[in-house]
Amino acid sequence: MRNMPAVLVVEDEPSIAELIAVNLRHNGFRTTWAIDSASAQREIDASVPDLILLDWMLPGESGLVLAKRWRAHPRTKEVPIIMLTARGDEADRVAGLDAGADDYIAKPFSTRELLARVRAVLRRKAPQTVGDALNVAGLSLDPATYRVVYQDAQLKLGPTEFKLLQYLMGSAERVHSRASLLDKVWGDHVYIEERTVDVHVKRLREALGAAGTMVETVRGAGYRLTAKPLVPVAEKSSA
Ligand code: CA
């Protein structure tokens, strides 16, 4: 049973806790239920879970206070937290995310949505497998050494641009929509807008310099990395 992720459900309403626990167990998760902050802390002291579903409004300390404390503690700072709450406005959502929550689910929620969010957060937190070195038309990327080289010159890329390039090079010539890039590169696009992709593509092109034209915009479809970049059309002289 070692592969079953352990989820700590911190929720003072038994009917909601039960609904969550039943659905998670049915889908291959182990669950523990804590009814308040004191029992949640006891559970965590006994065993650090893989993920915490944390109700905002709890008797005693609120979920927000708990999220902040767990984020600050070395033992729990890496544990993904999804806040559950009836409070759904943007200010609350931002407060929850600021406190260190990885995601936020407004009550009432469907169990399908809950499972999707839980899986997305766990996927995003999973350690990345290193992957193979890639080479496309003189552009090479080695995940083991974290190096990108084009025509013998080493290029400097930020972490997101590196991941983006790794993904594009891994399926060169294929067109990827912004939504699928968010899913594959960012892992969870609940709070990231699609234009974020455009920003990072722009940075990637800049970082790639002469190889930047290999990252093509496919109008209405998305982006792809191609070994045969379009040659920029020279300005026609109108002499
Ligand atoms: Ca509550």
What pLDDT is recorded for position 27?
Answer: 92
* Ligand 1 center–CA 32 separation, angstroms: 17
* Ligand 1 center–CA 58 separation, angstroms: 5
* Ligand 1 center–CA 57 separation, angstroms: 4
Partnered with residue 51 across adjacent β-strands are 7
What pLDDT is recorded for position 128?
Answer: 55
Task: Specify the CATH number for the domain of residue 223.
Answer: 1.10.10.10
Contacts of 110-116 spanning 24+ positions with Cβ under 8 A: 111/19, 111/20, 111/23, 114/20, 114/23, 114/53, 115/23, 115/24, 115/27
pLDDT tens track, the chain, 239 positions: 446 889 999 999 999 999 999 999 999 999 999 999 999 999 999 989 999 999 999 999 999 999 999 999 888 988 999 999 876 677 777 787 788 888 888 888 899 999 999 998 888 776 656 678 899 999 999 988 889 999 989 999 988 899 999 999 999 999 999 988 988 888 755 567 788 899 999 999 999 999 999 999 999 999 999 997 666 555 444 44
- How far is Cα 62 from Cα 107, in angstroms, rounded to an integer? 16
* Ligand 1 center–CA 48 separation, angstroms: 22
The helix/strand/coil state of 150 is strand
Same domain for 159 and 228 = yes
Same domain for 110 and 50 = yes
Same domain for 158 and 81 = no
The pocket of ion ligand 1, defined by CB under 5 A, consists of 12, 55, 57
Same domain for 148 and 116 = no
The helix/strand/coil state of 234 is coil
* Ligand 1 center–CA 11 separation, angstroms: 6
- Domain boundary (125, 147, 177) is at 125
Taking residue 78's Cβ as centre, other Cβ atoms within 10 Å add up to 10
Task: Specify the CATH number for the domain of residue 118.
Answer: 3.40.50.2300
Same domain for 14 and 41 = yes
Same domain for 81 and 143 = no
- Domain boundary (83, 99, 125) is at 125
Amino acid at 104: Y
Same domain for 121 and 60 = yes
* Ligand 1 center–CA 97 separation, angstroms: 18
Residue 157: inside a domain = yes
What pLDDT is recorded for position 129?
Answer: 60
* Ligand 1 center–CA 90 separation, angstroms: 19
Residue 239: inside a domain = no
Contact status, residue 161 vs residue 169, Cβ threshold 8 Å? no
- Domain boundary (81, 103, 125) is at 125
- Chain-centroid distance of CA 100 in Å reads 14
Same domain for 50 and 72 = yes
* Ligand 1 center–CA 20 separation, angstroms: 14
7 half-sphere exposure, CB direction, 13 A CA radius: 28
- How far is Cα 31 from Cα 127, in angstroms, rounded to an integer? 22
Find tokens 């998670």 and name the residue. 24
Residue 1: inside a domain = no
What pLDDT is recorded for position 16?
Answer: 94
What domain range is 96 assigned to?
Answer: 6-125
